[in-house]
Structure 1
């Protein structure tokens, strides 16, 4: 079985469902093409975090994403944090999360979603494919500069996952850089000040304590040896993995909230093209990318539902844990 269902409703919003014997994935085209459900049928669990007090609502372009963010998975382009670039105020989490996307069914097992930028002249296309026998969702992206001059960008993929007493965050990175947050016992002073990196993994981040620690932190991981990440709970038999193109997504950002921000617990572990999360600062530090007029960048991402066992060393082509 592998089906695409258009024309459904989630609350008052249009929803598109991609479904097979392993997974059910729900997409909200009117809400930035948010992936609002990634349901593993084998364990009867939606793997995504959903804010306990923030329902899905129609957002307003340009305002603070924190006041609309309900969880799930969003695309972030062309910046993460708000900033001023070329005289333009770029919104928090970029331009596409708060806008409606066009959706078409592109095959019996896939849909294509499209959105143009408002401030930045780009066309973003995301094709989502769920084959009948697959335990992973394929995402194919294309971003095109439809303007007349080159622009700088940061690009991130923003999945929110729940954390609990047995959560483990796995990323094949060597170094971590601190962006913001609350100091932990295993943070050096130089690391916490942002002056120097610290070796990854950092236990207080990669294995959050079972008891709520009333903290939050934003980290940038670099020097990846491979293009994947995972959030898992072996005791509860669930895992969420992301495979990505390491040459493009050279960093992984971690925003982990353990009760220290707005009363929630979540880990957003996200591939990014650079650091830090503000495009203006990434330009200054040489970590932004540039897209020339008429050119495009293409890539593919896999979202994997898996049952974790032991140390995670990545995933094979079928989405199985190595």
Structure 2
């Protein structure tokens, strides 16, 4: 376990022989660094200026956040109105101040439980080091209400994009169903072939038509093989995600090639699709429901090599 400061914020970390993870509890439990020690490769993207961390509050647009590293999106990603509830942009936990559990810290785990304000959910995340040296993210979501509640959850890692990087997705991924984009002409629900939707445009290489200045979000699934990675053919650096596809059947793929001046990727295991819970319920019909008083659990393994 490590403790440090970044721009005045407390940072807690986990370290193995091969890699280091650092997170900021005060900023929604945001993981700000995933670094391979032997090569120095930093996988967590952040804005290229000295003051790249700051606090946000309820009602803030995610676009006005640091947009750095890994945060958590629940019970929606896109803002929407479901029933009589207005669900905020990127959900209800990324802007909250998390308090780490002392008992878990003593076990070398980074654990926190967060109550949601709009929906009757309690969210818990714990990060620990597995026996294989991977970082294990363990989750629990509890419905504290008195009726069944639909939800979306999405892992939300903004990852650096370097020369030689290539997406490594399961062989079964032959297309992406699109959810949105800028700088490219699409309609929601369009299906693009993967990895080459147009001659000479390779999504697996992080390429988009219209770049620079274009970004795109699409979904693959339901998947039989629940894994995804990025490998660099020049350096050999590799990031690998693995999870249980019975709980998280979809993978969101985000590619930003210059929108806002940023270049990054995201591989987003998720419980449903698309980003809006309203659309997931009413249009795509890909979402999960938790009965009253019950808890669902899932895990993601993050490996660096």
Whether these two folds match at TM > 0.5 is yes
- Residue pair 2:179, 2:189 contacting (<8 A) in 1 also: no
* Partner SS state of residue 100, structure 2: strand
For residue 82 of structure 1, report the CA deviation from its aligned partner: 0.4
* Partner SS state of residue 103, structure 1: coil
For residue 69 of structure 1, report the CA deviation from its aligned partner: 3.1
* Partner SS state of residue 262, structure 1: helix
For residue 258 of structure 1, report the CA deviation from its aligned partner: 0.6
In structure 2, the partner of 1:102 is 99
CA distance in 1, matches of 2:62, 2:115: 19
> Residue 276 in 1 paired to residue 274 in 2?
yes
In structure 2, the partner of 1:151 is 149
For residue 193 of structure 1, report the CA deviation from its aligned partner: 3.0
* 2:8 counterpart (12, 31, 52): 12
> Residue 56 in 1 paired to residue 53 in 2?
yes
Please give the residue correspondences for 1:77-226 in structure 2 after superposition, counting only pairs within 5 Å: 77-105=74-102, 106=104, 107-131=106-130, 134-172=132-170, 173-182=173-182, 192-202=186-196, 203-209=201-207, 213-226=212-225
CA distance in 1, matches of 2:161, 2:63: 19
- Residue pair 1:221, 1:253 contacting (<8 A) in 2 also: yes
- Residue pair 1:174, 1:199 contacting (<8 A) in 2 also: yes
CA distance in 2, matches of 1:45, 1:196: 35
CA distance in 1, matches of 2:273, 2:166: 23
- Residue pair 2:2, 2:13 contacting (<8 A) in 1 also: yes
* Partner SS state of residue 158, structure 2: strand
- Residue pair 1:76, 1:97 contacting (<8 A) in 2 also: yes
Superposed CA offset, 1:49-68 (max 9, x none): 11224611011112101111
In structure 1, the partner of 2:247 is 248
Q: How many residues align?
A: 294
In structure 1, the partner of 2:286 is 287
Superposed CA offset, 1:106-145 (max 9, x none): 24332311111111111111111125x7431011111111
For residue 214 of structure 1, report the CA deviation from its aligned partner: 3.0
- Residue pair 2:67, 2:158 contacting (<8 A) in 1 also: no
- Residue pair 2:145, 2:293 contacting (<8 A) in 1 also: yes
CA distance in 1, matches of 2:134, 2:164: 23
RMSD, matched Cα: 2.1
TM-score (norm. length: structure 1)? 0.85
CA distance in 1, matches of 2:17, 2:165: 26
- Residue pair 2:77, 2:276 contacting (<8 A) in 1 also: yes
Gaps of 5+ in 2: none
CA distance in 2, matches of 1:19, 1:55: 23
- Residue pair 1:176, 1:219 contacting (<8 A) in 2 also: yes
For residue 183 of structure 1, report the CA deviation from its aligned partner: 6.8
- Residue pair 1:169, 1:232 contacting (<8 A) in 2 also: yes
Superposed CA offset, 1:151-182 (max 9, x none): 11011001111123322112222331112225
For residue 34 of structure 1, report the CA deviation from its aligned partner: 0.6
